[in-house]
Amino acid sequence: MAAAAAASPARASWRPVIPATSAYATRSCFRVGAKRFAGLQTTCTCLHQATRLTAAHVKSGEAEGRPSTESAAAGTPDEESLRRELETAIQEEDYARAAALRDELRVLQEDGRSAVLAANTRFYTAFKNGDLVAMHQAWAKGDHVYVVHPSAGRISGYEMVMQSWEMVCDADYEFPLQIDLQDVEVHVRGDVGYVTCLELVRTKGSSSWGKQVATNVFEKVDGKWFMCIHHASHFDE
């Protein structure tokens, strides 16, 4: 998180449409000009259409890492099926069965939260170290993924998102960054999970921390969690 915080101030000056200003420069930890992101703003799709999370169970596992609606493999319990079984057991007043299902559901949810937090850690470790290989591995593949760097527009599609991170890692500062994550919350529903947190980021030689509020959305593909959305915005106290 500390790395993210340090990186987001720099990302403040990356907005592709609006040139970097002196105001942004004073808040930026990274010396990255807005022009470097020219051409990466590839979509103007309304954000609410892309980021809506429904309560329906989403299964992942297609070749490109996109969500599918296929049922879980036979014999593998999933959250929605357990919820349905629990409701049925309660309606039938089979309380012993309901208690067992409740415990199984709790374990599944705890495992899901731990796995999403681990995926979140992989992302920030790649960010902190400027590790492009690890960053590529942290993201889901497909046109549905996108990133919003602080004070910049939306960049959509796996290839374009990776190009934006290549620019970040190619910026004129030393790695590793210092990243501290605060107020971390994780929520999981089926094969979709998200983490909200406050990023505090500082580059080497800097005495100040950049602060961003971040939302990271993950999807499970073939049993592993991958980032599909990273949205960071400046936080002014």
CATH of the domain at 11: 3.10.450.50
Taking the CA atoms of 115, 117, 123 and 128 in sequence, report the sign of the dihedral they define: negative
**Quick check: 98 pLDDT over 50?**
yes
Per-residue pLDDT, 48:
34
pLDDT of residue 164: 96
Q: How confident is the model over 70-86, as pLDDT tens digits?
A: 434 444 568 788 888 98
| Six token digits for residue 183 | 């107020």
pLDDT band at 145 (very low <50, low <70, confident <90, very high): very high
Is residue 69's pLDDT more than 50?
no
Number of structural domains (the chain) is 1
Radius of gyration of the chain (CA): 20
What pLDDT does 214 receive?
A: 98
- 63 vs 79, residue with greater confidence: 79
Beta strands 67-68; 146-148: pairing state: unpaired
Band the pLDDT of 167: cuts 50, 70, 90. Answer: very high
In this model, does residue 46 exceed pLDDT 60?
A: no
Range of the domain at 145: 2-234
The residue with tokens 């992989």 is: 122
CB contact at 8 A, 185 and 213: no
